[in-house]
Structure 1
Amino acid sequence: NLPALRAGIEAQLARYPHFRSIQVTDRDGELRWLPTTVNVDNHLIRPTLDPAAVAANPDKAVEDYVASLSTLPMDRSQPLWEFHLFDFPTSEATSTAAIRVHHSLGDGMSLLTLLMACTRSAADPTRLPAMPPLPTRTGAIYQRPRPSAGVLAFLAWVWSFVVLAWHTVVDVVGFFATILFLKDPHTLFKRVNHAETQRKRIVHRRLSLDDVKFVKNAMKCTVNDVLIGVTYAALSRYHFRKSGETDTHKEIRVRSMLLVNLRPTTSLHACVDMIKSGKESHVEWGNELGFIILPFFIGMHSDPLDYVRKGKKVVDRKKSSLEVVFTHVAAEVIFKVFGLKAASAIFHRMISHTTISFANMTGPVEQVEFCGHPIVFIAPSGYGPPEVSPPKI
């Protein structure tokens, strides 16, 4: 329903400052936001696809078109967001919208929060969808529980901070080594001679969150641990299948970047509360990220749960470190002292020296609709960095 979609986007999405601004360069050569008039029709794109290709395989037709978008620059004469609409059925939905948003408008967490704030509950379209429950953890991932009574408990508590400091030093050294010289070996997952205009294919797979939680509870770990283990297993099987290697005892150690949202655990609820009360201009939609460099193992295991065990071991080690805080502060300092180009060059060097990036985001917890259209699934993704980028939820 194009008129309903246009009206809904104009009333909801286009009211946010960055979604009605363009980027301009001032006299000092710095980029800044300049408010402009938004013509929503310019942002609703209905591509003309080959009817034969659509009839033969509609899923691949959509995937091919989205891959072609990765080679095309965005029009900087208007706000940097687009809706590409495919009004034909695929295997999963009656129609599809590919929403392309420039990363300068916000990180994945803020953009998904914004999208959720523009949806409505399918059960009651007059209200916003229910928010996810607040996490049980309230402090930082590296926060240590207070010691119980006793000298040994106190010494163990003190020792945990010594370990925290040591792990942080090791991780910071690894961070600088990665920027300067430390590169992952070339594998099937690492691009060579990466170019910004190189075509990048974006695919998605849905899996049952109930199954993930079942494994999580059985293994006494987290959803993140399970997803990292699943990705270990999937890419390992892919590698040995595609490479033709027969030595399944061989293990290739590469590294991945785990992107971490540094906003408070209550930030999602706070943002939605501001939007409900009409204070959306007070919401900060920018990038609030740090990252962790995770060892990543490509190898074959006879017990599938070994992938989860290895993932949990690596993540638990990284939780005992201030690496994520350091990387965020370092990025801020580099940006403010040396400028955008230096910060971009260092970040690009970091991701080009690693192999894979991970992120996750919490989506709606009930069935939702967007401008009157029931949503079957949301598949966030990204392109630009020279990496494989699984998974986003």
Structure 2
Amino acid sequence: MDSLPDLNQIKTITKNGGRLKEEDEQLSPMARLFHEPGSNVYIISMLGCKTKIDPHVVKQNLLHSLVRHPRFSSLQVVDEETRGIRWVPTNVNIDNHVIVPELDPNIAFPEKFVDDYISNLSKSPIENSKPLWDLHLLDIKTNDDEGTGVFRFHHSLGDGLSLMTLLLACTRKSSDPDALPTLPITKNSGYIKFTRVWSVLEVLWNSIVAVVMFVLTVLFLKDTKTPLKGSIGVENRPRRFVRKSVNLADIKVVRNAMNVTLNDVVLGVTQAGLSRYLNRRYISGESGNDNETYDRMKNDIIPKNIRLRATFFFNLRATTTIDTLVETMKTGTTGRWGNQIGYVLLPFTIGLKHNPLDYVKEAKAVIDRKKASFEPLYTYFVVYLVLKLFGIKALMIHVTSYVDKMMFVISADEETIPDPQQLCDDLQESLHLIKTSVLEMESDKTK
């Protein structure tokens, strides 16, 4: 999303005006980046509830939790002298941040309504006269939920992991209303693990290769022009949000059988789904006939040697615990808050494969090399250049898991990808094919 005003339109303050205090902090370079033209970004998060949502209860709890966090009770204001942006504390009117639209309880297609509502949120910014977040409470019953909450945060408030942990810090256990939710904590919080001398050399070599490829990408190695590549101005166009839930157990079946991670499986499924979708687009472009497209889907007509890269995120902070954030909200300090994420350029091999398991194997090989490198660290420091060069992509795929479900959430430029629901279906079908291949492989071993 890129509809926020530029820095010159953000409210300004002067030291003589009395609003700027010594304790007011400047926005970090990463947070300021998210105000630059072409890279203004909102994080939109959806929460499904098994019971009806009581707006009064929500507001009261937010006043004693989220609003106590300094970032959620401060304006972002330009200092007239330095032109830097500062956090300036302000009084929060909770009614300006919690929106409860009047809805028809008998809406014919509630799931589509929720998707459309979320998509419409990407078409308008939050007024910068208040802290840049809001919560929309949708009193509408869907197949899975009795009510839906939609949070919208400007990315300058923090990265996804910070915000998810903060939201969890605002909740309590259903079994014990006074207890915080518990999450498993990994002892080794760093993404790089040195186990032997060779691993040090491996990390250095992978880092050098990653740096060289990054420089070459900046100079001339652009992505191949495909139906997935957005045209100029993609960052200013509306986006469509669609979802598809799959069984987490299916992902785990593949993980256990292939001795890989959940991320490896998800990346393999994503690569397979994009290949199916892109093949479909090329076929339909040639035939223009949906029935013929379906009949020819087994034929791979994708051009060879397509260069298609994704941006894959890494968390760079040490493990953030819920208890730490609760203390943060009590004391009014920020702690290790903010945008502490790195990126890697992840090349995808696009094309239909005879063995669907090859998608997972290739994804694992690539991501293992990226994990064993310093690429996420140096891209953290050159992220300004990354977004300036590559901008906001026409397609973003988010994957979240909760209890026994994993959800693919697609955010797509409507002009470039007019049928994002089809891409969701291709992801689901790809998982089915990969799982089927794994079961067949396991069956062959027992014979």
Identify whether the pair has TM-score above 0.5, normalized to the shorter chain.
yes
Q: Work out whether residues 44 and 82 of structure 1, in 8 Å CA contact, stay in contact via their aligned partners in 2.
A: yes
Most deviating of 311-320 and 22-31:
311-320
Offset at residue 141 of structure 1 (A):
3.5
Q: Retained in 2: the 8 A contact 1:254–1:355?
A: no
Q: Secondary structure at the match of 1:201?
A: strand
Q: 1:20 matched to which residue of 2? A: 73
- Identity of paired residues, percent? 37
Native 8 Å contact 2:116 2:240 kept in 1: yes
1:348 is aligned to 2:400:
no
Q: Does 1:244 align with 2:275?
A: no
Task: Say yes or no: does 1:7 pair with 2:60.
Answer: yes
CA distance in 1, matches of 2:170, 2:412: 24
Secondary structure at 1:267's aligned position in 2?
A: coil
1:184 aligned onto 2:223: yes
**Counterpart residue identity of residue 33, structure 1:** W
Cα displacement (A) at 1:194:
2.6
Q: Secondary structure at the match of 1:206?
A: strand
Deviates more, 1:189-198 or 1:57-66: 189-198
Instruction: State whether residues 45 and 85 of structure 1, in contact with CA within 8 Å, keep that contact through their aligned partners in structure 2.
Output: yes
Q: Does structure 1 retain, via aligned residues, the 8 Å contact 2:228–2:394?
A: yes
Match of 2:238, SS state, is: coil
The yes-or-no answer on 1:283 pairing with 2:329 is no
1:387 CA displacement:
9.9
Q: 2:156 aligns with which of 104, 109, 115?
A: 104
Gaps of 5+ in 1: 147-156, 332-342, 367-375
Query: 3-state DSSP class of the match of 1:203?
Result: strand
Matched position secondary structure for 2:240: coil
2:308 corresponds to: 254
2: distance between equivalents of 1:296 and 1:377?
22
Q: Give unmatched runs, 5+ long, in structure 2.
A: 1-53, 285-295, 425-447
Aligned length: 350
CA deviation after TM superposition for structure 1 residue 280, in Å: 5.8
Cα contact 2:206–2:373 (8 A) shared by 1: yes
- 2:348 alignment partner, SS class: strand
Cα separation, partners in 2 of 1:197 and 1:116, compared to 1, 3 Å = same
Give the 3-state SS of the residue equivalent to 2:364 in structure 1. helix
Aligned to 2:186: 135
1:134 Cα deviation from its structure 2 partner: 2.2
Corresponding residue SS for 2:181: coil
8 Å Cα contact 1:110/1:285 also seen in 2: yes
Alignment of 1:16-55 (within 5 A): 16-27=69-80, 28-48=82-102, 51=104, 55=107
What is the Cα deviation at residue 118 of structure 1? 0.5
Change (3 A) 1:43 1:244: same
SS at match of 1:169: helix
Contact 1:256 1:355 survives alignment (8 Å): no
Deviation at 1:121, TM superposition (A): 1.2
Amino acid at match of 1:177: L
In the alignment, which residue of structure 2 is the partner of 1:82?
Answer: 134
Secondary structure in 2 matching 1:142: coil
- Residue 293 of structure 1 and its aligned partner are, at CA, apart by 0.8
C-alpha deviation, 1:275, in angstroms: 5.0
The separation in 1 between residues aligned to 2:408 and 2:327, in whole angstroms, is: 25
The code of the aligned residue for 1:310 comes to E
- Alignment equivalent of 1:164, drawn from 203, 208, 213: 203
Partner Cα separation in structure 2 for residue 72 and residue 205 of structure 1: 25
- Structure 2 CA distance, aligned partners of 1:314 and 1:34? 43
Residues 270 and 122 of structure 1, relative CA distance in 2, 3 Å threshold:
closer
The answer to whether the 8 A contact 1:184-1:355 is kept is no
Q: How well do the aligned residues superpose, as a CA RMSD in angstroms?
A: 3.2
For normalisation by structure 2, the TM-score amounts to: 0.70
What is the Cα deviation at residue 186 of structure 1? 2.5
- Which SS does the other structure have where 2:228 is aligned? coil
Output the amino acid matched with 1:261.
Answer: N
**Distance in 1 separating the partners of 2:322 and 2:254:** 28
Return closer, same or farther for 1:33/1:275 CA change in 2, 3 Å cut-off.
closer
User: CA shift at 1:107, angstroms?
Assistant: 0.3
Instruction: State the secondary structure of the residue aligned to 1:205.
Output: strand
> Secondary structure of the residue that 2:71 maps to in structure 1?
helix
Q: Which amino acid aligns with 1:19?
A: F
3-state secondary structure, aligned to 1:229: helix
